[in-house]
Amino acid sequence: MSPAASRPQLAYLTAALDELRAKGTHFNLRVLEGPQQPVCRYDGREVINLASNNYLGLADDPRLVEAAIAATRKYGVGSGAVRTIAGTMRIHMELEEKIARFKNAEASVVFQSGFAANAGTVSAILGKDDFILSDELNHASIIDGARLSRAKIKVFRHKDIAHCEELLQEVAAEPGRKLVITDGVFSMDGDIGPVDKLAALAENYGAIMMVDDAHASGVLGRNGRGSVDHFGMHGRVDVQVGTLSKAIGALGGYVCGSRDLIDYLYHRARPFLFSTSHPPSVAATCIAAFDILEQEPERIDRLWSNTRYFQGELHRAGFNIGGVTTPATETPITPVIVGEGRAAMDFSRALFDEGVMATGIAFPTVPEGKARIRLILTSEHTRAQLDQALETLERVAKKMGILKQE
């Protein structure tokens, strides 16, 4: 036994892990050997990759790689400080200007991740006398930001505008500020947040409107401008968050809004103030990615065409891809509902052994009884790869009793 293993202080963690093992939901990390691609090698096995958020195949795009290398040669590998001390490089400002123009917003600020953008922004703009009205399926980073703000959190039922309004009425007489917040695309079910209706509601009640477009960035709206563009709501959403880590292919998160919102976040958002800024290579990569979004909308067309084809075939094969007891997907995020946590994890493992990488997701990430595998299409999957994945999914599901044998 190692000296650390004999110490009793952390034995409760071992017990908790044993409990996960007993439930069949413990996992080991799958290790990718090589770039993030439609077919790649995890743990030494070649698989069709339906698990990444690399929607547009940009994670290893040669032009982005070149941009990262060129910036590294020119500016080095690190920024050397937080943004507010000495770590704001010209290229950071260029990326923010580029994002603001792309999103048709006055200004933009980039954080180290989408998580940091959400948590840092919500906690900065609200305080303990304020109210946050949050969709029950909003992302963990929103929930953490809400908790850090110490504002009172009112959770409305998923996409339930009437319920959100009820909660707004309840707190209307309170002096605190109100923030209505939703994901643009919900990450577990793939449905689209009712940004148009919520923004109109927020306006009626004088509430701030905020959208987290992590899974909408590069996917929804013209050239992937996101949910606000998708719904034609420009100018009516006060705070737009996006990620640079999914369709954009690199790493980071951003907030778009008024010049004063961004200036305020410069002064008060804690991840901005207390954590070092991106290496210049990341900023350069993202700048190159936005050029591609503008110049190659056909990537997004391919993404949607793959999505329609794949989801149509899954539906035809009899899979439950949501829409009855869970929301129906409207995006490339494709849940295949299995039910019990252990069954979903077993399905995921069996698919991996047969050459398909599909994430198993169980409680507490999704409700008890709604465990699933989650598949994500990209623009770069070929029809042949999708057909092979469909054949495997059907064969393994039948063997495991997830699909009925005909």
Residues that bind ligand PLP (CB under 6 A): 113-115, 118, 139, 141, 183, 187, 212, 214-215, 243, 245, 253
At its nearest, how many Å lie between ligand PLP and the CB of residue 309? 24
User: Which is the catalytic residue, given 187, 217, 245, 379?
Assistant: 187
What are the residues whose beta carbons fall under 8 Å from the beta carbon of 106, sequence distance 6 or more?
100, 257, 258, 259, 262
By C-beta, is 47 or 216 nearer to ligand PLP? 216
By C-beta, is 183 or 229 nearer to ligand PLP? 183
By C-beta, is 139 or 370 nearer to ligand PLP? 139
At its nearest, how many Å lie between ligand PLP and the CB of residue 46? 26
At its nearest, how many Å lie between ligand PLP and the CB of residue 330? 15
At its nearest, how many Å lie between ligand PLP and the CB of residue 251? 7
At its nearest, how many Å lie between ligand PLP and the CB of residue 66? 23
Contact 249, 285 (CB under 8 A): yes
Contact 372, 351 (CB under 8 A): no
At its nearest, how many Å lie between ligand PLP and the CB of residue 249? 11
By C-beta, is 139 or 302 nearer to ligand PLP? 139
What are the residues whose beta carbons fall under 8 Å from the beta carbon of 309, sequence distance 6 or more?
383, 386
Q: What is the distance between the alpha carbons of residues 276 and 81, in angstroms, rounded to a whole number?
A: 5
Known active-site residue 348? no
At its nearest, how many Å lie between ligand PLP and the CB of residue 384? 29
By C-beta, is 125 or 390 nearer to ligand PLP? 125
User: Which is the catalytic residue, given 103, 139, 230, 246?
Assistant: 246
Residue nearest to ligand PLP (CB): 114
Contact 333, 366 (CB under 8 A): no
By C-beta, is 252 or 341 nearer to ligand PLP? 252
By C-beta, is 281 or 392 nearer to ligand PLP? 281
By C-beta, is 115 or 393 nearer to ligand PLP? 115
Number of alpha carbons in the 13 Å side-chain half-sphere of residue 287: 20
At its nearest, how many Å lie between ligand PLP and the CB of residue 113? 3
Known active-site residue 141? no
- β-sheet bridge partners, residue 253: 111, 243
User: Which is the catalytic residue, given 103, 215, 230, 278?
Assistant: 215
Q: What is the CA radius of gyration of the chain?
A: 22
Known active-site residue 187? yes
Which residues belong to the active site?
187, 215, 246
